[in-house]
């Protein structure tokens, strides 16, 4: 096992519960191999998930993909960062490309596509992507995550229906007066 891997495993084991240990291990791993895509990905995740520094996170993810376009670990986190940063067009382009990458977890990419559509209030389209995610899912433990996203989107659809019903009731009361 390479020294880089040892420190990378320590960092992954520490994240997100012990950030100081994570950074220390990542720094060691990076000093041994500054082109390790998993190291760059974890740096990006820390920037996005812990510091909410999305532009810096994007930079790490871009570096990783520039080194290896087949760094499968990068795509889901990069997509989440783009969505949180409201870079919707960029996220859609990355989704389109990611779906062509051999070996990628297509189910996870379709979930991110559904979330992208959800944040744009395109709920019916998002549910179609949930269906795609289910079709590509081959891990039982991942199915619960898909169901949670589906439930959240359906809840938002119901919320909008209730809002519309209230508007129509108010409108019909005004007309009857």
Q: What is the pLDDT of residue 166?
A: 81
Q: In the predicted model, what is the mean pLDDT of the chain?
A: 94
CA 71: distance to chain centroid? 15
Model pLDDT for residues 57-112, shown as the tens digit of each residue: 999 999 999 999 999 999 999 999 999 999 999 999 999 999 999 999 999 999 99
Inter-residue contact 133 to 114 (CB < 8 Å) = yes
Yes or no: domain 1-104 corresponds to CATH 1.25.40.10: yes
**How confident is residue 142, by pLDDT bands cut at 50, 70 and 90?**
confident
Rg (the chain; Cα; Å): 20
Give the tokens for residue 74: 């990068």
């Amino acid at each position: 096992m390479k020294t880089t891997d040892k420190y990378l495993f320590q960092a992954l084991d520490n994240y997100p519960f012990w950030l100081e240990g994570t950074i220390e291990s990542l720094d060691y791993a990076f000093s041994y191999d500054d082109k390790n895509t998993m190291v760059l990905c974890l740096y990006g995740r820390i920037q996005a998930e812990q510091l909410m520094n999305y532009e810096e996170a994007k930079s790490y993810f871009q570096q990783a993909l520039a080194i290896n376009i087949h760094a499968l670990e990068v795509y889901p986190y990069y997509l989440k960062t783009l969505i949180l940063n409201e870079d919707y067009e960029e996220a859609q382009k990355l989704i389109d490309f990611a779906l062509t990458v051999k070996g990628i977890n297509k189910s996870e990419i379709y979930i991110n596509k559904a979330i992208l559509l959800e944040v744009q209030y395109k709920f019916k389209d998002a549910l179609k992507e949930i269906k795609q995610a289910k079709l590509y899912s081959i891990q039982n433990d991942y199915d619960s995550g898909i169901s949670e996203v589906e439930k959240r989107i359906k809840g938002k659809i119901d919320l909008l229906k209730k809002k519309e019903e209230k508007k129509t009731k108010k409108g019909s009361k005004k007309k009857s007066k």
